[in-house]
Homo-oligomer: A and B are copies of this chain.
């Protein structure tokens, strides 16, 4: 089955706005084997909307629109869709009554303009909206299905899940599509590709795509089949092979980010952590404290941006900084040891580097980062050279620090 998705509303064409319903619906449709062939944002214009609906229905088995179901002059979805399918609108007494009751419940009188929201295309079924005043509707046009849903995600999503998905799941004939995401830290896209391509290319199902991000690489495995269990088995077969090729490298297969994985590990093993951040400037601390209950494992973080702060707070020997520079393995190690000692934690990790754009020397270019870990699980140090601008260097350094903690706690090689 092929689908088209129309997001209705001139405001969605504002360059600063991001339309999110389309991606949500696309993702859910994929899981039941329905492929989206076109996704569009259309302005609140009768002619453009009518043409968009007509075009979509000429080619797609399923057309889903979001938005334009409100009571104002600009809400043209009902009207345009009716024209596109050549049917008229009827005012639904049931919806009218429900609308009046809803307004009464909030001690308000319904303005006449709201009656428009009770208009239904001839032959369409109503999709109740428990969270707003704009009900949806759907129509079976001899096998082609048209769904009109409201725009606010908080209203659209539950209606889509509870009312649209069951209909589509049945029509899609029970085909199942599932994606599993394997996340790898501190290995670039091309390095991962080189290792895994010989394996995943031998699989037609699942299909694999590789996505690179700041400080991590993701393998997206998508399998399809007749049953949930069958698809899971296909995914697991390839995932097992990939795990073998990337031993200890895959930190997550369930959607969790690296900070969440590290937080769980520390919590499970009752380990406490302190941070000594220079070039990441609090980014590692912010990622860890974004996780609820971070106080279980995170005692404190020292953002020691100046040399003086490194000396005063972490007890780094100033002669060490003079001899090797603040960005050096020696200073990183001293920072980690100092943080652990001062905080009295099981572990401490330190990051010092040149995030740029200034501060570089011929020997120490932008992107050079030294990381060190001190703790009950041993001592480690790593030198990395990250590409990109300040923000990317900071992001990659933060990921590398978290990965260093993960590998140390799990007893994996320094990596």
Contacts and interface: CB of A to CB of B under 8 A. Distances in A.
A289 B300 contact: no
A105 to B, nearest CB: 22
A40 B40 contact: yes
A298 B305 contact: yes
A290 interface: yes
A308 B299 contact: yes
Interface string A281-313: 111111011101111001111111110110011
Contact of A48 (B15, B41, B43, B59): B59
Interface in A1-48: 11, 13-16, 23-24, 26-27, 30, 35-43, 45, 47-48
Interface in A47-70: 47-48, 51-52, 55, 58-59
A42 B51 contact: no
A220 interface: yes
Interface string A84-109: 00000000000000000000000000
Interface residues of A, number: 69
Contacts of A357: 292
A286 B289 contact: no
A313 B300 contact: yes
Given A288-B281, A290-B390, A39 B40 contact: yes
Contacts of A15: 23-24, 26-27, 30
Contacts of A309: 299-300, 343
A331 to B, nearest CB: 15
A277 B284 CA distance: 14
A304 B300 contact: yes
Nearest to A272: B306
A356 interface: yes
Contact of A302 (B42, B280, B289, B300): B300
A259 to B, nearest CB: 11
A286 B293 contact: no
A299 to B, nearest CB: 5
A390 B303 contact: no
A358 interface: yes
B43 A41 contact: no
Contacts of A47: 59
Contacts of A280: 286, 289
A211 interface: yes
A31 to B, nearest CB: 10
Nearest to A15: B27
A327 interface: no
Given A37-B45, A37-B48, A40-B38, A299 B289 contact: no
A394 interface: yes
A211 B38 contact: no
A13 B39 contact: yes
Interface in A381-415: 390-391, 394
Contacts of A220: 16
A59 to B, nearest CB: 6
A262 interface: no
B13 A292 contact: no
A357 B58 CA distance: 49
The 9 closest A-B pairs by CB, nearest first: A281-B289, A282-B285, A282-B282, A15-B27, A301-B303, A40-B40, A300-B309, A282-B286, A37-B43
21 contacts: A14-B26, A14-B209, A37-B42, A51-B55, A51-B59, A275-B303, A279-B289, A282-B286, A283-B286, A286-B286, A290-B390, A292-B356, A292-B357, A294-B305, A298-B305, A300-B302, A301-B303, A302-B302, A302-B303, A312-B342, A313-B313
